[in-house]
Amino acid sequence: MNDNAIFDRGSEQSIMHRKLDHNFYQNTDVVQVAKQLLGKYLVTDFDGSYCSGIITEVEAYRAPDDKACHAYNNRRTKRTEIMFWPGGVAYVYLCYGIHHLFNVVTGDPDMAHAVLIRAVEAQEGLEVMENRRGMSAKRPQLSAGPGVMSKAMGITTNWTGQSLVEAGSPIWIEDRGLVVGEEHIGESTRIGVDYAEECALWPWRFFLKDSKWVSRFKPPKLKPSSP
């Protein structure tokens, strides 16, 4: 990625490696939070295996009206209960029984808003990420896509409910002074939510336009409405 084409550097004195705090995550506008996560660094440190990557692609989900959201209509289950916690915790679920998908819970208690982190550009801990994925860290396929991203970063459902702000947490997100201008943010409908009827058309997937580290996009295929 060409940083100069996408990012403006913030003040090194005020924003070097600043962990995002509760105030960031408890913003009640999940779409705004999703966009603001672009350019931030997702960091994991499991048993001394430190890895980081620049967030390049996200999707926003919002209860109770979003039919693509697991907590649509404020549905509370053992799995979705974490989405109703105050913003600043991880929501990790298993997709197709294989892929561990990492989400950031946002908003106030009982709002059930979340941002799915779909891709990162690998930065640190490349050898660890290569071993986890069995491929070169130079290839975007290493961490472009929510399932492979979680695998590369070492995130599994064992960490659902984990705080992203507490001291000592092995998962967190940092602001390292990279500022993404609106002109560099692309948007589209979300991926794999064709079942969500009219909500499948919401343009709530956001990504860095000039980055190769993003998922391949396929427009939703919606069933025709009944007469």
Tokens (6 digits) for 116 = 């799915």
Cα separation, 169 vs 132, in Å, equals 21
Cα separation, 191 vs 200, in Å, equals 9
**pLDDT tens digits along 43-98:** 999 999 999 999 999 999 999 999 999 999 999 999 999 999 999 999 999 998 89
Q: Which CATH architecture has domain 8-208?
A: Roll (3.10)
- Residue 9's alpha-carbon distances to 41, 74, 216, in angstroms, are 14, 40, 28
Question: Domain spans of the chain?
Answer: 8-208
Fill in the amino acid letter for 148: V
Per-residue confidence at 216, pLDDT binned at 50, 70, 90? confident
Residue 7 has pLDDT above 60, yes or no: no
- Residue 208's alpha-carbon distances to 45, 89, 115, 132, in angstroms, are 25, 24, 16, 25
Nearest Cα neighbor of 103 from 148, 143, 161 is 161
The total of other beta-carbon atoms located within 10 Å of residue 21's CB is 12
Residues 185/207, Cβ–Cβ less than 8 Å: yes
Nearest Cα neighbor of 189 from 63, 86, 61, 88 is 61
pTM over 0.85, yes/no: yes
The total of other beta-carbon atoms located within 10 Å of residue 43's CB is 24
